[in-house]
Amino acid sequence: MTGLRAHLARYLVLLAVVVVVTFFLPRLLPGSPLSGAIAGSGLAALPSATLDRLREGYDLNRPMREQFVRYLRRLGQGDLGRSISTHRPVSVLIAERLPWTAGLVGFAIAAAALAGLAMGTWSAMRPGSRTAQAAGMLVIGLGALPEFLIAMGCIIVFGVRWRLFPTGGGMTPFGGGGAARWLADVAWHAALPAVTLVAALVPVFVLVSRNALAPVMDAPFLVVARAKGLRTRRILWHAWRNAMSPVLTLTGLRLAALVTGVVVVERVFAYPGIGMLLFEAVARRDYPVIQGVVLVSSIAVLTVVFFLEMLAYALDPRVREPG
């Protein structure tokens, strides 16, 4: 229990660092919300009153230290501020977008983990098999492709050539119908972004699960289990409990990397998630939105990683009692 508390304390320190970094990170970017507004307007000049109003309304005319104190004070009250470009509360913007990204990422992680673990297990059970080696090479090749390339490939083949799926958006614009129809429509639109993310994730899961399982498959306890005539399913359960730890660690690490991938995928598919929101906010130097999105995504990643660590802690005695 003491270990758990220490662990939790470490996460809280990390969270405090994230809170500070999210304030300074957007301000370290070249440009400012004012230059973002002028550049984004498509004009050479904006009225001076417009820029004065932006400066006053969003504390941009105050010293950095004062801005930081006001940011912390607002954050303490649960207020993420208002978007400089849309004037809407950042919490509302995130709440509108988060379900789209959470659904997409949740599905992609689950599907990639299931498919990856299944393929990794299949491969680990066939050491030396040519088919398994060929599949491994294919997976490595797929893993080398960047997300945007996979996305463009999906759009060209499934969206444009075969016209099986929509090439952009989260749902049919202003489409009617009941809940079932809505769900089907959302799933239909999410198909290509999800396939892209799954394709980018699967290779890592395959390789890590195969490499984690392969040494365990020849371990004496499994030789005994086989000799006792246990069913394959039972043998795999024992094997997996021993090999699970690196896979869980990887899932946590990939989740953080996935945030970057989501920005690219949502941009390519014009998908209405927080990745797209972050992309637009960075282009506009919309500090409150960048802060809000980075903060919320960091908290989400930290929370999931924390629970995955707890899961590994519960499943694998070696994690609880190192050495």
Partner 1 sequence: MRRLVLVLALALLPAPAPGQTAPGLTPAIRLAWWTDAGFLTPFAVSILGPAGVTRLTLIYDTLVWKDGRGVIPWLAVSWRASPDGAAYVFTLRPDVRWHDGTPLTARDVRFSFEYYRRHPFRWIDTSVVSGVEVRDRRTVVIRLARRYAPFIENVAGTVPIIPEHVWQGIEHPEQEQTLASAVGSGPYRLAEYRPESGQYRLVAFDDYFRGRPLVREIQYLVIPQERQMLAVQSGQVDAGVTTTRDALALFAGHPYLRVLETEPLSIARLVLNLDHPVTGQRGFRQAVAHALDRRRIADTATRGPGIAGNPGVVPPTSAWFNPRVRRYPYDPAAARGLLREIGYIDRDGDGWLEQRDGTRLVVGLVAGSTADAEVIRQMLKDVGIEVRVRTVDPATRAQLAAEGRFEMLYTTHIGSGGDPDYLRTWFTGEAANQFASGSAMRSPEFVRLAALQLAELDPARRRVHVDRMQALLSEELPTLTLYYRRFFWVYDGRKFAPFATQGGLLNGIPLVDNKLAFLPGGR
Binding site for partner 1 (CB under 8 A): 29-32, 34-51, 53, 57, 82, 85-88, 93, 96-97, 100, 160, 163, 167-171, 173-174, 270, 272, 280, 283-285
Amino acid at 89: P
Q: Which is nearer to partner 1, 88 or 318 (CB)?
A: 88
* CB nearer to partner 1: pick between 30 and 229: 30
Closest distance of CB 50 from partner 1, Å: 4
Q: Which two tokens stand for residue 131?
A: 């088919």
Residue 205: CB minimum distance to partner 1, A: 30
What minimum distance in Å lies between the beta carbon of 43 and partner 1?
A: 5
Q: Any bridge partners for residue 89, and if so which?
A: 82
- Cβ distance 239 to 230 under 8 Å? no
| Comparison of 40 and 143: residue with beta carbon closer to partner 1 | 40
Q: Which is nearer to partner 1, 192 or 247 (CB)?
A: 192
Q: Report the nearest approach of partner 1 to the CB of residue 8 (Å).
A: 34
* Angle formed at CA 171 by CA 302 and CA 37, multiple of 5 degrees: 70
Instruction: Pick between residue 30 and residue 322 the one whose CB is nearest to partner 1.
Output: 30
The amino acid at 167 = T
DSSP secondary structure, 201-241, as one string: HHHHHHHHHHHHHHHHHTSHHHHHHHHTT--HHHHHHHHHH
Q: Are 68 and 62 in contact (CB under 8 A)?
A: no
The tokens describing 43, both together, are: 């004009």
Residue among 322, 323, 319, 320 nearest 245 (CA):
319
Residue 279 beta carbon to partner 1: minimum distance, rounded to whole angstroms: 11
Q: How many residues does the chain have?
A: 323
Nearer to partner 1 among residue 72 and residue 270 (C-beta): 270
Name which of 31 and 153 has its Cβ closer to partner 1: 31
Whether residue 305 contacts residue 255, with contact meaning beta carbons closer than 8 Å, is answered with yes
- Of the pair 120, 166, the CB lying nearest partner 1 is at 166
- Nearest-approach distance from CB 269 to partner 1, in angstroms: 9
Quick one: 35 or 129, whose CB is closer to partner 1? 35
Report in angstroms how near the CB of residue 237 gets to partner 1 at its nearest: 43
Shortest reach from residue 264's CB to partner 1, in Å? 13
Q: For residue 73, give the amino acid letter.
A: R
Cβ–Cβ under 8 Å, residues 115 and 205: yes
Question: CA–CA separation, 143 vs 210, rounded Å?
Answer: 15
Q: Residue 318's CB: how many other CB atoms inside 10 A?
A: 11
* Phi-psi sector, 174: left (phi>0), alpha (psi -120 to 50), beta: left
Q: What is the SS3 assignment for 89? A: strand
Locate tokens 């660092």: which residue? 17
Report the phi/psi class of residue 214: left, alpha or beta, with left for phi > 0 and alpha for psi in -120 to 50: alpha
Nearest-approach distance from CB 192 to partner 1, in angstroms: 13
